[in-house]
Structure 1
């Protein structure tokens, strides 16, 4: 009988040492997983606006130095004591929205929150240490903070058992990593939060990965008309390929885009989904919905304590506004099913992958995102 003990792993990670500066590729030490923790070899990770927000000088709640990343997929390397659902070799997706399965939130069908994150001010400023209050990362003798409980910008990471889910062993990790955030958020915003109806009219603001996924969700729900709005016309062909019926650039009109949409949709769309994080666009999204029953769903995250200027009269006249967190999916329950749906070709993730870069080009990946090329 042999007792196998995990050891410290040295690997590469992209560290944000302070706000506003590029990532630095460093050698880090990744400690073994403790009780109910798993160490994962990250095979692929996407870059997301939430990662960019976390290192923005305007975001006041970030902790440094930190290893960001929350849209990854990988393979279990080792498990800590008490772990029974995972074993080395399993293909997995880390979850920035945990699901403990026992708290009042997990037991309710009304939310996909979990008590492990239900009290935080913003999901991109918490889960910066492991549940025991310590870090598994060190670099140059310094403790490095975790991020959203995942930290996928490292070749190896350690996550809590409740923040990981096992997926189909045949799934391509360089594609299904997008189910860890961007795709699920946009797709679920349409299906779970907005609850787009067959035959309805929809407007999707912002055609990044999340917005394009929202377009796919509207199409899957059976919407008859899907208006895709962005100031970057280069995104229009892909939006139409994924289900958009009309593409609008606000810069092409003299009127505010909400007025244009209201005019061409017979008084306003049934559903509007904002995927940018701009409060002015959020306001426009609400205003372009029809009175009586129009629903505006907020996906984007606005920083700096900004709020949406909403007229109570619009709400009195029957318009509704809601927001989504991870597309409303209960993570542990839903992610394996979404991976299976992808494998069954019920939707495409391939179109959302615009560039594939080596890990040491992570700063280039962020530049491409900032330029709207992702």
Structure 2
């Protein structure tokens, strides 16, 4: 092994069997001949020596290597460049590459946030819904993923002993008694009176843990009908606190007492999703709500019975946002406007949505309406 270290790096790349034949031609070779063959490079004297003929044959293979660098190779001609069309070769290929070996297909269906098989994040290029980003990770969303999601499952857990018969769902629609031939195959009727049929609340499992889907912030400024500058101020305020450009809304009805005509521009609104929604709610919970004087909280009776809650902010409350407070002199004090905030969640009832926001730190007061 010590004798092989003296051989050049190029010669060491040759097979061991070939080196052994070249370096040790006979079993009766003397130690002097062996030492002469194990030199670092083939010198002129070694090539003329008859005793080192085997070493000369061993290093003759190295003469076939190119001495010039590949960087000095001539550039390809325009004809060669024009004929090089890899896309055409890929299109003419009859058989595609095996997907199981060269491509990864994430699962098509998501079976809940706690399922062992998860789809990659949307920021991963191999995801089916690939979207560049996110470029930040809100603290409130981290809290939801690490603590709130599992706590909601624990709080809403309802133990059912094994073997308990399942309850038949109550039909909320009225059927027909069959007293007339026209009752056959006829759709069922709604309940008596005019009650609203709300969404049936589903139990919270690992497949449908409630989370925030989107938040819509809308501002109605009737003074903009006379002075359009109010509309500009309202739009600038929503742009500052959400980071998105609001759209201008128009009135849909005529109200003669208020001097409102249909089709006039009288408000702005914007909708934020994902991390932006969590960041906005985080600022409301930790920066705006604690600074509102004599604020009881959000009314517990709010909601549309489908898991969507709403609350309002006065013009004085809007100035508590850091984005507006830092540039307060830029907004005319008499043109400040409030807003209405609609929090849309994936919950199936107001009770679940209220439980979600309570776990994040939103206070509620008053009579609770399921």
TM-score (structure 1 length as normaliser): 0.22
Bigger Rg, which one:
2
**Higher helix proportion:** 2
Bigger RCO (CA 8 Å, 6+ sep): 1
TM-score (structure 2 length as normaliser): 0.22
**Higher strand proportion:** 1
